[in-house]
Amino acid sequence: MINYEITKAEPQQLKLQVKYTKTDCPDYWINFVVEDFAEANLHKVAEEGADRARIFYDAIAKLPNEVTLSDTTGSVPQRVYVEPPEYDKTTHDAMFTWVEADGVLTQTWQIVEKSDDDKADAIRNQRGTLLLETDYFALTDVTMPDDMATYRQALRDVPQQSGFPNSVDWPTKPS
């Protein structure tokens, strides 16, 4: 039988932490992202997570209780970390790999272009941030200047630009 204990429920972080236990087995922990913190929902999430715990417990049941090693030592190659190059995070991603030469692992970076869908998502997120920065002008007790209204409309129109998402002409924020 697998038992669970809800060890943390942190609504501000949307975090639920559950510990699963089974006799003669190590504890298994899962951190969930949850939006509904009603007690019944938290127990439902914990109960659904028991399937993952069951897979874990089934897997470790097949493992030996101990292992005898003929050699218990080893060495870790030196790692050389390299700062990622400058790139446009809206249109590209940076990925790194390790290249070994003369017993040293060196981090190498590759800049790859995002898919059009990922570019569009990143641009919409950036547009949303720019709109949020000027939301106070849209409050009912504030009169929005015409140039700010034009700027905000231009931000909303970014996805309709002819080159979107590969070419975006960002409007200039009025001072």
pLDDT in tens, 72-116: 899 889 999 999 999 998 899 999 999 999 989 999 999 999 999
Q: So what's the pLDDT on residue 143?
A: 86
Q: What does 81-111 look like in DSSP terms, one character per residue? A: --PPPP--TTTEEEEEEEEEETTEEEEEEEE
Name the one residue in this structure whose structure tokens are 């997570």.
49
pLDDT at 138: 79
Q: Residue 82 and residue 96: Cα distance in Å, rounded?
A: 10
* pLDDT attached to residue 11: 94
Taking the whole predicted model, whether its pTM rises above 0.85 is answered as no
Query: How do 92-101 and 104-113 pair as beta strands?
Result: antiparallel
Is the Cβ–Cβ distance between 172 and 166 less than 8 Å?
no
Strand 3-10, strand 92-101: pairing: unpaired
**Rounded distance between C-alpha atoms, residue 90 and residue 130, angstroms:** 14
CA distances from 51 to 5, 34, 55, 83 (A): 15, 17, 6, 41
- Torsion sign over Cα 131, 137, 140, 146: negative
Please identify every stretch of the chain with a pLDDT value under 70, giving residue numbers as ranges. Answer: none
Q: For residue 78, what are the CA distances in angstroms to 13, 100, 101, 104, 106?
A: 37, 10, 10, 5, 8
| Beta-sheet strands, E only, within the chain | 3-10, 15-21, 28-33, 78-80, 92-101, 104-113
